[in-house]
Structure 1
Amino acid sequence: MNNIPKKLPIGSKIGIIGGGQLGRMMVQAAKKLGYKTIILDPVPLCPAGQLSDHQIVAEYNSIPASKSLADMCDVVTYEFENVDLDSLITISEHVDIYPSPEILKISNNRIREKEKLSSIGIPTVKFLPIYSLDDLDKAIVEIGFPMVLKTATSGYDGKGQVIIKSKNKISNSIKKLLVNNTNFIVEEFLDFQCELSVICGRNKKGLNKTFFPAENIHKNHILDVSIVPPRISQEIISDAQKIAIQISEKLNLIGLLAVEMFLTKENKLLVNELAPRPHNSGHYTMDACKTSQFSQLIRILTNMPLGNTDILNPVVMVNILGDLWINNSSPPNFEMLKSSPNTFLHLYGKDEPRIGRKMGHVNVISTNVNEAYKKALEIRKRLNTS
């Protein structure tokens, strides 16, 4: 019996739950490989819907809409973690969906995520689930101050978390986060050397390929800059990739998995979060790799061979936030980038800039990573003053 997965024919339909910038770039990658896309998103003409072959305008938790998506598509994926699990399960009863709902259930809850990582031998920061004030008292003893209190669910870009520096700050912190949440997790506050991420793709055959790790710098809890290759030793780079592969295999991943890590000052890697989807820190792959993270996902979904993930040149990605529009009297002058060689602009089709909202990104390629970093920051500074 031949168990080799058959490639989906050109023209097959890929369903994408979520119509933001990640969905948009999935659509672009799918088109290049000859596949059609259908978006499920409640916002008409969302960034992904602008380019897709069809959009179902409905809430993510709409069971009828989920069934329609399943009926119309040959395979389904999603672009963010806060997807309604019941809807995913409904879809999975009719059509293949990757990564699996089981993996999403782990990654969209910080308690389940940390407990799963610990159970498979992956090092993480010290943590303790918080279900009551008694658990907080236990955390003070076992973890100590400062510590980070996070909601178990619905947190991204720094939302749903607060640093607690002393016992008298706890009650205020709880009140601040307890509005819509009942479960929390406390983690030790880590004075790390740098933050890294590795994106791993794994197909139905169980074959893995990782992209080069990115060194990530955050500003106001939002990714600001990704530097590739990271300014660390080759040994640590290799170890980070091995950890990502180990996690993907233990989870029986089919799809993409972004693994966010801390590198401690003692050169120890600790896994922080998982994201079973393309990741902001992987946008550099669009211009600096033979295969982008988005193309790799489409290849996995359609049973094509995994693409080559080699990095072609050092690259630095900088995010373009809505701040550039809000804080200046005129929109950014992107025309000036035309005169800047090896500079690649990607805008997301969003019509309403807001503070902290991701509107696009710029990839800058050079023969030297430090030169790419310097040039990328200079370009964004010029955009900010144009």
Structure 2
Amino acid sequence: MNTPVDTHKVILPGATLGVLGGGQLGRMFAHAAQAMGYFTAVLDQDATSPAGLVSHHHVRTGYEDPQGLTELAQLCAAVTTEFENVPAGALNQLAASLPVSPAGASVAIAQDRAAEKAHFVKCGVPCAPYAVIESPEQLAAVNDALLPGILKTARMGYDGKGQIRVKTRAELVAGWEELGRVACVLEKMLPLAHECSVIVARGRDGTIVNLPVQRNLHRDGILAVTEVYEGNLPATQVEQAITAAKSVAIGLDYVGVLCVEFFVLDNGQLVVNEIAP
């Protein structure tokens, strides 16, 4: 019989904290943890991964390797992930024996645009009008009102990758073929002024706090400039963004740090774009 994991136990400096993923975000995590007095462990198969090079322990296996996950669990008092594309199943396996934040269920939603948008709708947070396309029948049934739009792969797209702008139904059909006929989401193209984001942190006790709202400027789909200062956005937009971000996190029963990204339309309306654990 498995002993329930005590997820509310305070983990004091001197313990080892683990992270799945050895990239630059994992390296930032490791440095921050070490500055607070923690040891760190990284699971990443790259022997020269940025986070692995600065951590006390480096488990050099793939994310789904059972032996590697067991070794990480034995080393650590708790585990996190550096980004959302770590397999949710690996987080679930680790959660059977130690605290894991964010939970695999939250990461699984962040990994799938269709599930992500369904969550936004469930939380009552506005998002761009969209349609899920997983079959030729769903493709044919797309409402013309969604064009022009942006066709995005449901999984693994980021920083402008896995996205095609389509103006007509013919371009939509061709775009889906170009993306390999994989599961996609078609989002209606909206008149954007800019983007903004809110970073929230939610504890296991439900306490939730946020950093100041960020105003983001993109170039070719990639973040170029983030501005954080008093008055960077109208007060009403700031309040709306914080309220919506907290609603998204609470709806996930999220534990950990979460970034919620928004489009700001020309008329000042906010629509949520995506989440980033």
TM range (shorter): over 0.9
- The CA distance in 2 between the partners of 1:268 and 1:6, in whole Å, is 41
Among 2, 7, 11, the residue aligned to 1:8: 11
How far did residue 142 of structure 1 move?
Answer: 4.3
Among 158, 173, 176, the residue aligned to 1:174: 176
Counterpart mapping for 1:229-268 below 5 A = 229=229, 231-268=232-269
Number of the residue aligned with 1:183? 183
- Report if aligned partners of 1:18, 1:78 keep a CA contact under 8 Å in 2: yes
Counterpart mapping for 1:1-386 below 5 A = 5-143=8-146, 145-178=147-180, 182-229=182-229, 231-276=232-277
1:97-135 CA deviation, whole Å, 9 max, x = no partner? Answer: 101111011111000000111012111000111112232
- Name the amino acid aligned to 1:94: S
- Report if aligned partners of 1:198, 1:212 keep a CA contact under 8 Å in 2: yes
Compute the TM-score of the two structures, normalised by the length of structure 2.
0.93
How far did residue 194 of structure 1 move?
Answer: 1.1
1:345-368 CA deviation, whole Å, 9 max, x = no partner? Answer: xxxxxxxxxxxxxxxxxxxxxxxx
How far did residue 266 of structure 1 move?
Answer: 1.5
- Name the amino acid aligned to 1:234: A
Percent identical: 32
Structure ranking higher on relative contact order (CA contacts 8 Å, 6+ apart): 2
- The CA distance in 2 between the partners of 1:83 and 1:45, in whole Å, is 18
- Name the amino acid aligned to 1:150: K
Change (3 A) 1:120 1:203: same
How far did residue 68 of structure 1 move?
Answer: 1.2
- Report if aligned partners of 1:4, 1:205 keep a CA contact under 8 Å in 2: no
Compute the TM-score of the two structures, normalised by the length of structure 1.
0.68
- Report if aligned partners of 1:14, 1:37 keep a CA contact under 8 Å in 2: yes
How far did residue 173 of structure 1 move?
Answer: 1.0
1:80 is paired with a residue whose SS is coil
Runs (5+) with no aligned partner, structure 2: 1-5
- The CA distance in 2 between the partners of 1:166 and 1:177, in whole Å, is 16
Runs (5+) with no aligned partner, structure 1: 277-386
- Name the amino acid aligned to 2:264: L
How far did residue 4 of structure 1 move?
Answer: 10
- The CA distance in 2 between the partners of 1:191 and 1:268, in whole Å, is 10
Change (3 A) 1:111 1:271: same
Larger displacement relative to structure 2 (106-115 or 159-168): 159-168
1:310-356 CA deviation, whole Å, 9 max, x = no partner? Answer: xxxxxxxxxxxxxxxxxxxxxxxxxxxxxxxxxxxxxxxxxxxxxxx
